[in-house]
Structure 1
Amino acid sequence: MGEELVLGIDLGTTYSAVATVDSGGVAVIRNRLGELTTPSVVHFAAADTAVVGAAAQHSADPDNTVALIKRRMGTEFELEFHGVRHTPESVSALILRSLVDDAVAELGPHRTVRAVITVPAYFGIREREATLQAAHLAGIEVLEVLSEPIAAALHYTGGIPAGTTGRSGDVRSRTGAVLVYDLGGGTFDTTVLRTGVDGVHVVATDGDSRLGGADWNERIREHLAAAFVREFPAADPDDEEFRLHLQDASEQVKRQLSAVTSRRVALCCGDDAMTVELDRATLDELGADLVDRTLRIVDRVLAAAAEKGVTNIDEVLLVGGATRLPAISRAVHQHLGLAPKTADPDLAVVCGAALRAHQLASAGRPRTTAAVVPRSFGLLLQDSYREDGRSFVQHLVHRNEPLPAVATGRFATVLNGQRSVRIQVFEQSGDVPSPEVAHNRRVLDGEFTGLPDLPAGAVIEVTLRVSADGLLSVTAREPLSGAALELSAYVDGVVDAAASRELAGTIAGLTVRC
């Protein structure tokens, strides 16, 4: 048994992948079905059995099948299958466990599994904590939680790209400013990077965690179902077999229209059957507003980069399987005036993750991958000068600041003799930072107790620290007495220690198969 297995893992919304670095370079590990990517779908066949991947994707039991779970990471979203409770973290852990099992089947058993796991650049603190928790449940030691655009850039600028066999020896080097347009199955990120001999540095990032190729699939499904019902008004579009048929047909025709201009789709429901022709122009029309949404986010990230002195983009890099849609490259080209480049859209992220894992696990000094704060963080305050006592969020750490980031704010107590202060940290949840509580989400909540008998207006200093991984810690201090507290807090939307132990027991008792 080997001592250590070092992996790069792309835990995707619709598809996931795992890779390692060996003597031949980056090797993307095929799953036990011989595929380079695995559908991020889990079917709970029984209380003690979970099926991950293609078999789960084609399951005829939707009530016990879950997909797109990445969109729920960091939220209080509970599931129950066969009387057993699950969360986004535990479902994601099963996907991770399946990927590790594939690696072990290829490379042999190891005592320790260490990995770099990628997340969208726009993932906030709760999503990143949830990803770490999923890895812990899967028995993985996390070397780093790495933003997907950085992983793609590592692969593009100095990585060893994977071809159809998962191996290649072409080493490239790029310098300058790069816009990474990353449209995956369920999330969209766009990031401006500086690349050079000293590494990859993020200038600005933005994105939408609920926008991806799955949305194009949904538009196609609706279009095909509407055509079928027009022809057969008595047909039930919610029929389970028909729904699964539409799901598969939509994914297939979307992929086919990347290579051909039209395709006939055979549909059947019960005894009714017909053929619908779908062409690329119709697909472009169905997804036009989705493309526009991505371009608005691109404009925002370019404006943020310009504020930091980066006004010229040298290259545009397309990442993510959904960028194979011809409408994407055409729209990006027209919008930016630069012909975008691609670098293994489906595998760039996992290849970059493997490279980073190899760097971190090696004895040598790892190459720099400087990131930025994905979303602004601040404290919930009460405006004591207003009669209504309005609450608002004052951001201390601002999005697109370099990581690691540290900021300290000085705040005042509102009551005489106040012996404790509740400290609530909020994170930007809207597209742009805002002081309105509704435009933020609470991520940490703790109580600073044991204060001396202070008058109203006494100063409390609160320091927020965001690590290079984008994880948050808080320190509160009362300067006069020297009382201080490393805030013992919980992350909202992430399971607590007791629930984590329960989930770990549940997962340990599950047989996972592909």
Structure 2
Amino acid sequence: MILGIDLGTTFSAVAAAGADGQPEVLPNLLGEPATPSVVYFASATEALVGAAARTAGAADPDNAVALVKRRMGEDFELLFHDVAHTPESVSALILRSLVQDARRHLGAGAGEVVRAVVTVPAYFGAREREATFQAARLAGIEVLELLSEPVAAALHYGVTARPGSVVLVYDLGGGTFDTTVLRVGRDGAQVVATDGDSRLGGADWDERIADFLLESFTTAAPGIDPYDDDAFPHEVRATAEAVKKDLSVRTGRPVPLCCAGRRVTVPFDRAALERLGADLVERTLAIVERVLSAAAGKGVLRVHEVVLVGGSSRMPAVAAAIEARLGRRPRLVDPDHAVVRGAAIRAAELAGRARARRATRSVVPRSFGILVEDSHDPSGTRQAVVHVVHRNAPLPATATAAFCTVADHQDAVRVQVYEQAGELPSAEVADNRRVLDGELTGLPPLAAGSRVEVTLRVDEDGLLGVTAKDPESGRVLELEAYIDGVVDAESTRRLAGSLGALTVRQ
């Protein structure tokens, strides 16, 4: 099976190219095109995924997990029924459910190999990308490519077939936001610049609406604490999401709420939604302006087209704000499934099942550097990160830099690779996060000031490799396997065993 998979923060989907080469979104067991990215652990041997998990989780939130994509690549252990899980293993369960749906829809046997293009936000760094690879491997999927979501959306919109155009992709999903500038040439589309926020998405609007509804209920029903009923706040948050979707096509609607025998109807309209989310829209526009500034630094001064991606981009306030700021009315065509359709197009291309399409090149999402001691610091304690591969450099990217030892008689050199963690590159250690750590050993005693050459490589999937070399002795250190915050081989085997013992159903 050749699939395109959108592993989303709030919803996930799977698609495949049909006999005519056109992508088809494959429905889940309930006949729905998207599956909520929610997992509920009913027991140590049974897990629910999707709508059933969301319903069960409302009554038993301690055994449910949602928005796990925001934790990808973090050292974040989850314990359910005395069994340890990670963001990777939870994501693997979602992927397993998607693959089960695809097998059922396509009539594929259980033993048929699954190959897939899996999408990731453009700003995902090395840890998040490696974690996504691990999740797919745990789910038994052979990854053809990790495809940036804006690039997938560009394939869906067909903009890669229009040489000479510059396209801004605005992707507002349920839990994440990213934006990318693409330049289309005769040899394909190239990502010029990309930026985003992993903690900004439609879920933030849902939370604002839910808080407003709960506050309105409390005002109208004094003496009733809505939080005394464990289920009521969860019901209100589910209602908030539905209200947000309704107001994309309606200007207003009453919202009935009932708690502790008291019924309150809260009037709510599009203007109220726009007030509640005004600063959130502005946050996205600030990121858009930042990515346009980065593109301008590369000579791209004008955007010809803006396309909207992600279900939350349906909110009319989004298109209006973009048009007011950029002077261009954005295109909106099936934004909920743009990414998964594009992933299916790319998967078919890589599998040789579709006519040749122009290649699409991406860029380094975050700067990578080496942790160094500041030899000019009198206290001898200052450290800094010297970036070697810079954000928005075309992929694949390779760069070499020379560093020097700081003490006499060193026979080993520790090499720590850091990745930009903040919105902008910074030499401050606190503004970066360690992703690789190793030691170049067996060196002849080196004098202070001896050169060590470090080469950083970022492949087309955004995964990192490092080589450190002592030119005098020829000793070489290769760092590729261990990435901080991502489970190691032993943990992977343990998680695979735990997942193998779980029955997954919707």
What TM-score do you get using the length of structure 1 for normalisation? 0.95
Q: Deviations over 1:26-76 (max 9, x none)?
A: 111000100011100011111100110111112221111111000000111
Instruction: Decide which of 304, 310, 329 is 2:319's aligned counterpart.
Output: 329
The Cα shift of 1:480 comes to 1.3
Is 2:451 the partner of 1:459? yes
Question: Quick check: 365-374 or 337-346, which moved more?
Answer: 365-374
Partner of 2:379: 388
* 8 A contact 2:411–2:442 mirrored in 1: yes
1:45-444 alignment runs, 5 A limit: 45-59=42-56, 60-107=59-106, 108-109=108-109, 111-157=112-158, 175-238=164-227, 239-362=229-352, 367-389=358-380, 390-444=382-436
Once residues 343 and 405 of structure 1 are traced to their aligned partners in structure 2, the CA distance between those partners, rounded to angstroms, is 33
* 8 A contact 1:157–1:174 mirrored in 2: no
Identity %: 61
Question: Quick check: 488-497 or 332-341, which moved more?
Answer: 488-497
Equivalent AA in structure 1 for residue 102 of structure 2: A
Equivalent AA in structure 1 for residue 30 of structure 2: L
Is 2:467 the partner of 1:475? yes
Q: Deviations over 1:249-268 (max 9, x none)?
A: 10111011111111100111
Question: Quick check: 287-296 or 50-59, which moved more?
Answer: 50-59
Alignment RMSD (CA, Å): 1.3
Equivalent AA in structure 1 for residue 42 of structure 2: A
Equivalent AA in structure 1 for residue 213 of structure 2: L
Task: Give unpaired runs (5+ residues) of structure 2.
Answer: none
1:21-60 alignment runs, 5 A limit: 21-24=17-20, 25-59=22-56, 60=59
Once residues 391 and 325 of structure 2 are traced to their aligned partners in structure 1, the CA distance between those partners, rounded to angstroms, is 25
Once residues 149 and 342 of structure 2 are traced to their aligned partners in structure 1, the CA distance between those partners, rounded to angstroms, is 8
The Cα shift of 1:468 comes to 0.5
The Cα shift of 1:198 comes to 2.6
Partner of 2:483: 491
Partner of 1:167: none
Is 2:463 the partner of 1:504? no
Q: Secondary structure at the match of 2:122?
A: coil
| Cα distance, 1:280–1:158 mapped onto 2, change above 3 Å | closer
| Cα distance, 1:139–1:130 mapped onto 2, change above 3 Å | same
* 8 A contact 2:436–2:479 mirrored in 1: no
| Cα distance, 1:488–1:418 mapped onto 2, change above 3 Å | farther
Is 2:14 the partner of 1:18? yes
Q: Secondary structure at the match of 2:112?
A: strand
Once residues 350 and 365 of structure 1 are traced to their aligned partners in structure 2, the CA distance between those partners, rounded to angstroms, is 19
Once residues 162 and 368 of structure 2 are traced to their aligned partners in structure 1, the CA distance between those partners, rounded to angstroms, is 35
Partner of 1:163: none
Partner of 1:165: none
* 8 A contact 2:465–2:480 mirrored in 1: no
Q: Secondary structure at the match of 2:408?
A: coil
| Cα distance, 1:158–1:6 mapped onto 2, change above 3 Å | farther
* 8 A contact 1:397–1:405 mirrored in 2: yes
Equivalent AA in structure 1 for residue 326 of structure 2: L
Once residues 26 and 253 of structure 1 are traced to their aligned partners in structure 2, the CA distance between those partners, rounded to angstroms, is 30
Once residues 304 and 208 of structure 1 are traced to their aligned partners in structure 2, the CA distance between those partners, rounded to angstroms, is 16
Task: Give unpaired runs (5+ residues) of structure 1.
Answer: 160-171
Equivalent AA in structure 2 for residue 230 of structure 1: T
The Cα shift of 1:288 comes to 0.5
- Misfit runs of 4+, over 6 Å: none
Once residues 495 and 417 of structure 1 are traced to their aligned partners in structure 2, the CA distance between those partners, rounded to angstroms, is 35
* 8 A contact 1:157–1:195 mirrored in 2: no
* 8 A contact 1:373–1:470 mirrored in 2: yes
Once residues 32 and 196 of structure 1 are traced to their aligned partners in structure 2, the CA distance between those partners, rounded to angstroms, is 41
Once residues 438 and 262 of structure 2 are traced to their aligned partners in structure 1, the CA distance between those partners, rounded to angstroms, is 60
What TM-score do you get using the length of structure 2 for normalisation? 0.96
Number of residue pairs aligned between Structure 1 and Structure 2:
498
Once residues 233 and 422 of structure 1 are traced to their aligned partners in structure 2, the CA distance between those partners, rounded to angstroms, is 63
Once residues 196 and 51 of structure 1 are traced to their aligned partners in structure 2, the CA distance between those partners, rounded to angstroms, is 45
Equivalent AA in structure 2 for residue 235 of structure 1: I
The Cα shift of 1:158 comes to 6.3
Once residues 431 and 175 of structure 2 are traced to their aligned partners in structure 1, the CA distance between those partners, rounded to angstroms, is 22
Equivalent AA in structure 2 for residue 247 of structure 1: R
Once residues 44 and 437 of structure 1 are traced to their aligned partners in structure 2, the CA distance between those partners, rounded to angstroms, is 38
Once residues 139 and 509 of structure 1 are traced to their aligned partners in structure 2, the CA distance between those partners, rounded to angstroms, is 14
The Cα shift of 1:236 comes to 2.6
* 8 A contact 1:360–1:366 mirrored in 2: no
